[in-house]
Structure 1
Amino acid sequence: MTTLSYPSKPVPGDRIAVVSPGSGLPGLFPRPFELGLERLRKEYGLEPVEYPTTRKMGSTPQERAADLHAAFADPDVKAVMASIGGDDQITVLPFLDRELIRANPKPFFGMSDNTNLLAYLYATGIVSYHGATVMTALGRPVAMDPLTADSLRAALFTSGPYELTAAARWNDVNRDWADPATFDAEPETRPGNGWTWVNADRVVEGRAWGGCLEILGWLLMADREIARDLGEYDGGVLLLETSEEMPSDIEVFRTLRNMGERGLLQRFSALLMGRPKTWSFERPNSPEEADRYAADQREAVLRAMRIYAPHTTIVFDVDYGHTDPQLVIPYGGLVRVDGPARRIAVTY
């Protein structure tokens, strides 16, 4: 069983590494990136430190690994945050020095393609944080969503329990980062309907593991960062959410089915299913189409869980992942899912 520990937290005035282990999109879209850096300075009191590949598209896996090593090894850097996700971070993992990172544990914040690093850090014994990339959460036009901002502040600077709140309003429709007008108004939001609970007759407390479903599928195919002894995950809380690529309900079911066939799905006592992103530039769904996509995905999840883990407590539409707001979840940290009280608390 891996022994996981929480790294020491930064304090205002400290330096925070900003890295691009997935994609160098800050080089293509500087506006949301620089807005995010400004908020790290002004709203959180942290001093961002960039690295050679932070704004570089097409950097090699070795170059990105070198930046991660530099960030973790620097004693003056107290936390590490990803600029954004990507689609090939899995190629960086073979070049990472696990002993260097284990000897220099720091809070790492990321999501999406950064599921690779989150799983890597879990296997290394380091609690990290799912959520809050610079360009998405911190670079939100006009202002950060208050739930995101408060959750990130608590994750960065505090230790102990933090209760998650269901969003009263949320958004998953993006505007063009290349258009300056995008940053003149906050994103339009729509009403939230709270969380949907299944098998909510118990209290579960366990370590969180999972992340972006598509990336987990890749890790499973490559056989990377998955414990050999699946008992590692017994009693844990599974985090799953889907990306802006909007996998079909059939693909979601098949991925979960394969996790079940491997014996992995049934190890967890609770599943937090992130609110699905239902709109993209490639698939600009109408509200009705978006609702149908979300309903189809929910049924795919339920279908797989009925087969492989019928008694697992499930909470749908938790506000973390690729939608806004973006609550921060401690990856490898404790999560308490209280079904009778309909409450979720995490330990930062």
Structure 2
Amino acid sequence: MRLTRRTLLGAAAAAGGGTLVAGAAPARAAPRRTVRPPMLRPGDRVRVIAPAYPPDTRLARGIEILSSFGLVVEVGAHVNDRYGYLAGTDEDRLADLNAAFADPGVRGVFAARGGYGTQRVVDRLDLSAVRRDPRVFVGFSDLTSLMGRLWQGARLVTFYGPMVNWTDSRTGPVEIESLRKAIMTTEPVVLTRDPAEPSAAVLVPGTATGRLLGGNLTMLQTAIGTRDLPDLDGAILLFEDVDEAAYSYDRMLTQLRRAGALDGIAGIAIGQFTSAANSGTWNAATAVQDRVGDLGVPVLGGLRVGHGNGQLTVPLGTRATIDTAAGTLTVAPGVLEPGT
């Protein structure tokens, strides 16, 4: 029998009574079908939460943008709390998270800011509420752990895009419209390779179709051995990162390879290498090409997804196609018309 990540984790789960995380309560198995939430419409209530770092004065600009979509924006009770470097205690951040997914009037949940802290609370997410009433979730970076949990535990499609702690110099009108279209229309999302992006140098020719999964590379590596790391068999892996040197990309991808996480992938889509220092004579693109170029799957870099300027929004969990000749990643819509 070929020992893949799926078979190894399945055996471990069976031996451990269905859970791989010590001390975590067993959860009902995730639905097999992909769950796309209803698209947001003007007049819908949405809530801002802060499972990681607290927001700063930029939060007001993000709320203004969401309000310009016609959304009614609420802020979680503990968003502006402080507990060391976190937005309040674990209990309070978790309470805001679960309240946002349990309130039937809240149709979208938006992360205020990343940084660190989401994985401290993610194992206690109330997945029964998520399964009962799916809704839009938008975040990126540290929120990769929550997005992985929502996928693994509820098969919920989420949106990898800007957080509410908005920076106009990084995300302008094009990026605002990208977010709006992703969560408020049923149009496919098409990302085009940008030759100016450092990751554009990473390329393995070909085409591939699979479910788009992934997020921040640091958080994907951190998820190894937890319930947050998506099963990537047959998937298109999307990753990006910030403030990581070339050798760090090598190290993280090497660990994912050694863990078997990349054994069955269909292709790789690469977002932004933001503020990536060289290691010796190699830059981040050289290191990544060295680590993924021999996997035998198409690889397309240069996508404006991540921490850099011009950040676009993309659904995670829907079908996607890489076409390296066209330089495109085409992703099926992440939302449904209400009532369908």
Q: TM-score range by the shorter chain?
A: 0.7 to 0.9
The correspondence for 2:185, drawn from 138, 152, 158, is 158
**Mapped partners of 1:14, 1:293: distance in 2:** 51
Amino acid at match of 1:322: H
Of residues 16, 21, 41, the one that matches 2:67 is 41
Tell me which residue corresponds to 1:116: 145
Map 1:279-290; keep pairs closer than 5 Å.
none
1:73/1:293 Cα in 2 relative to 1: closer, same or farther (>3 Å)? farther
Q: Cα RMSD (Å) of the superposition? A: 2.4
Counterpart in the other structure of 2:101 = 72
Q: Distance in 2 between matches of 1:88 and 1:194?
A: 27
Mapped to 2, the partners of 1:144 and 1:328 lie a distance apart of 11
Gap change, CA 1:294 and 1:69, over 3 Å in 2: farther
1:5 aligns with 2:2: no
Cα gap change, 1:260 to 1:194, in 2 (>3 Å)? closer
Say if 1:192 and 1:146 are closer, same or farther in 2 by CA, change over 3 A: farther
Q: Match for residue 322 of structure 1?
A: 307
Residues 1:195 and 1:249: Cα distance change in structure 2 (over 3 Å) = closer
Correspondence for 1:208 among 205, 212, 217: 212
Q: Which runs of 5+ in 1 are unaligned?
A: 169-190, 280-289
Shift of 1:116: 0.8
Partner of 2:240: 241
Q: CA deviation at 1:3?
A: 2.3
Q: Contact 1:278/1:293 (CA < 8 Å) preserved in 2?
A: no
Give secondary structure in 1 for the equivalent of 2:220: helix
Deviation at 1:112, TM superposition (A): 0.6
| Larger deviation, residues 191-200 vs 60-69 | 191-200
State the distance in 2 between where 1:149 and 1:336 align.
24
Q: What amino acid is aligned across from residue 270 of structure 1 in structure 2? A: G
> Is the 8 Å Cα contact of residues 166 and 194 (structure 1) preserved in structure 2?
no
- 1:313 maps to amino acid: P
Instruction: Give the C-alpha shift of residue 144 in structure 1.
Output: 4.2
One-letter code aligned to 1:97: D
The code of the aligned residue for 2:163 comes to T
Q: Which amino acid aligns with 1:223?
A: T
Listed as ranges, the matches of 1:130-145 within 5 Å are: 130-136=160-166, 139-141=167-169, 144-145=171-172
Q: Secondary structure at the match of 2:260?
A: coil
* Structure-2 separation of matches of 1:292 and 1:154: 38
Q: 1:167 & 1:257 partners in 2: Cα distance?
A: 26
Write the mapping of 1:248-263 to structure 2, written as runs, cut at 5 A: 248-263=245-260
After TM superposition, the score normalised by the length of structure 1 is 0.79
Residue number in structure 2 paired with 1:297: 284
Indicate whether 1:341 and 2:326 are aligned: yes
- CA deviation after TM superposition for structure 1 residue 2, in Å: 3.9
* Other structure's SS at 1:129 match: strand
Whether contact under 8 Å (2:278, 2:284) holds in the other structure is: no
CA contact (8 A) 1:111 1:321 kept: yes
Q: 1:146 aligns with which of 173, 188, 194?
A: 173
Q: CA deviation at 1:57?
A: 2.1
8 Å CA contact 2:193, 2:301 repeated in 1 = no
Give the Cα–Cα distance (whole angstroms) in 1 for the partners of residues 234 and 324 of structure 2: 15
Q: How many pairs does the alignment contain?
A: 298
Structure 1 outlier segments of 4+, above 4 Å: 191-194, 290-295
- Residue 50 of structure 1, aligned match among 56, 67, 75: 75
- Structure 1 position 264, deviation (Å): 1.1
The aligned counterpart of 2:16 is none
Where in structure 2 are there 5+ consecutive unaligned residues? 1-30, 334-340
Counterpart in 2 of 1:171?
Answer: none
Q: Residues 26-64 of structure 1: CA distance to partner in whole angstroms, max 9, x if unpaired?
A: 2xx22x11011112112x111111111211122122211
Residue 146 of structure 1, CA deviation: 3.1
Q: Following the alignment from structure 1 to structure 2, what is the Cα–Cα distance between the partners of residues 207 and 150?
A: 24
1:145-198 Cα shifts (integer Å, max 9, x gaps): 233122111111111422224458xxxxxxxxxxxxxxxxxxxxxx66894462
Of Structure 1 and Structure 2, the greater helix share is in 1
Cα distance in 2, alignment partners of residues 22 and 294 from structure 1: 35
Q: When the two structures are superposed, what TM-score results if normalisation uses the length of structure 2?
A: 0.81
